[in-house]
Structure 1
Amino acid sequence: MLDDDDKFIFCLEAVADVEAEGQGIVFKNLEKLAFEQGIGSIYKMCDSIEGLEDSLNALLYNDHNFKNYEIIYLVMPGEKNNIRISGYYYSLEEIAELFVGRLKGKVLHFSNTKVLDLTSDEAQYFLDVTGAKAISGYGETSHIASISLDRIFFSLFEDEDNLVEIVEDLHRKHYALCKMLDFRLYY
């Protein structure tokens, strides 16, 4: 039985072809997070914007535990404030408009497969339109995947609800990695 305090992660990874892909490193790291820290997750792949929308809609409308999914983790390549799915680029503004008011209280977190560099107006627009609590990611893409820092960031949500405290704790304990990947949070 689920406790109301249980928190989960919904991970959506952009891949070339959902039929041909196997579950890779992201899936394995989410499993590790579940085994080591008890944080459950749902992992899905998408190869189109429709797949992204369908997956999030299924979570929103069909999962009775949606309120427990505090973090929506997007592993998607892109450039600056765009994501790339099957060779097409979609701006965060377009993504916001797909999910008008449907991400209330959620933290949308991007892996470092794309740079997240929002102006305060862009961030505020995304938050206002979607209802999200925050959007986070990295200012640097790197050959070093952000999955280690992502896992630490996710685990901090288990004991703390205050975003400022979570980010301060993350920086206090893992300053060098936060600095190298340029961790960012907009709220």
Structure 2
Amino acid sequence: MLVTLALLLGLPLALAADLPSCAPLVTFDNATIHGLLGQWVYIAGASRYPPALAELKEVKYAAFSFSPSSHEDELNATEIMRLNETCVERNTTNILILWHNSTLVHVSDQVLSMAQLIQNDKDLLIMKHVNANFPSLSLSARTPNVSKEQLEEFKAHLHCLGLTEEDTFFTSEKEACPLPWEKTGEGDTEPQSG
């Protein structure tokens, strides 16, 4: 199972209700999808969904990369994460693009995971996860660090969905694994394939 992508895209299927003051979701077009391509560092996740909480506590570091697929309705995804003390690399998996409702979908081990973009620009990715009426949100960025303003934006979305900072788990750059899309040097620990 692709833990980070499951966290990134949410866990089970069902739409949590938005509060009226929440930011509108991003509508997909070709430019939006093109903006998702490349490497991302998973910074934080927040959820009240019990199975997600256990996984959020285990993820110490995660990074992922989206690349074009041979199908216009899919993205390829590669990820690496540190779960407790172990680096795990997941090779290419597919993320389905549902253009009609601007949703990303991942199916792994017969678990359907879905997410919608709240914020997407060249440096920041905030995603609302669709999971069983439990609010869930994730923050990823192009670098392992986000600005104070970007963090405040994430916190505003947390509060809008009824989440708190106590519901949030942050990863650490100190726990970084060698990235599969970068050349590893001598002495680097090779990640386990999953």
TM-score in terms of structure 1 length? 0.25
TM-score in terms of structure 2 length? 0.24
Structure with the bigger RCO (C-alpha within 8 Å, sep 6+) is 2
Structure with greater proportional helix content: 1
